[in-house]
Structure 1
Amino acid sequence: MEITNNSRHGVDLDGWSLSDEDGRTYTFDHYRLAGRATVRVHTGIGLDTRRDVYQDRPNYVWDNRSGTATLRNDHRRFVDDASWGRHGHHGHHQR
């Protein structure tokens, strides 16, 4: 799962959450995404860097066949979502 900051300004993602259809949620902790940068959120276990963060879960939250991930900010407001697989609108963004 990738999150891209399209603005020129950095965004403080502290307290932002990424959740799947089953309600499993990853919450960013003291993470700042630079302007025009992308961070990849991995479900496995690894060392967090500026470009990659890990949920430290042994099992994969998002399967590759289909799913939806929802990004919310620290005020629980909907920011964006991405769907893939059977939904038929890969990478669809609601505005």
Structure 2
Amino acid sequence: MSARPPSARIDWTRKSFRRLCCCTAAAAEWVEIANQTRRAVNLDGWTLRDADGHRYRFDNVRLAGRATVRIHTGIGRDTRTDLFQDRRTYVWDNNGDTATLRDARGRTVDTDSWGRNHHHR
């Protein structure tokens, strides 16, 4: 009997650069991952991917129970609540995209889509 993947969920959040003056434009867009359990989840080796195949791999990240972490597209300094992909350009498509969170074994934990013809799965 195989163990079920830990419960985590993607909350899609986009912020406009015009509302943030202290960050690079790409750092102003992010995806938020929420751990909905009371137990910590080790995200080491997990990946977050968009529909075009841009991938972010979590390294040495532990998400506490009932906690969230934002994965920013741009450049910045990682903290407990904010991680940065260190990209200089946007990843998430303005017209619609899909974020897929996979565990270290490649199993899909959650997928969230937005925009035209997309829905949460």
Q: TM-score, normalised by structure 2?
A: 0.72
Is 1:75 matched with 2:102?
Answer: no
d(CA) in 2 for partners of 1:66 and 1:6? 25
Give the equivalent residue in structure 2 for 1:55. Answer: 85
Distance 1:64 1:50, change over 3 A: farther
Distance 1:64 1:51, change over 3 A: farther
Is 1:5 matched with 2:35?
Answer: yes
Identity rate of aligned residues, in percent? 62
Q: 2:54 aligns with which of 24, 27, 39?
A: 24
Structure 1 residue 88: Cα displacement: 4.4
Q: 2:63 aligns with which of 14, 29, 33?
A: 33
| CA RMSD across the alignment | 1.0
When Rg is computed on C-alpha atoms for both structures, the one with the higher figure is: 2
- What do residues 17-50 of structure 1 show as CA deviations (whole Å, max 9, x unaligned)? 0011111100000000010011111000001011
Unaligned runs of 5+ in 1: none
Count residues in correspondence: 91
Moved segments of 4+, more than 4 Å? none
Q: Secondary structure at the match of 1:49?
A: coil
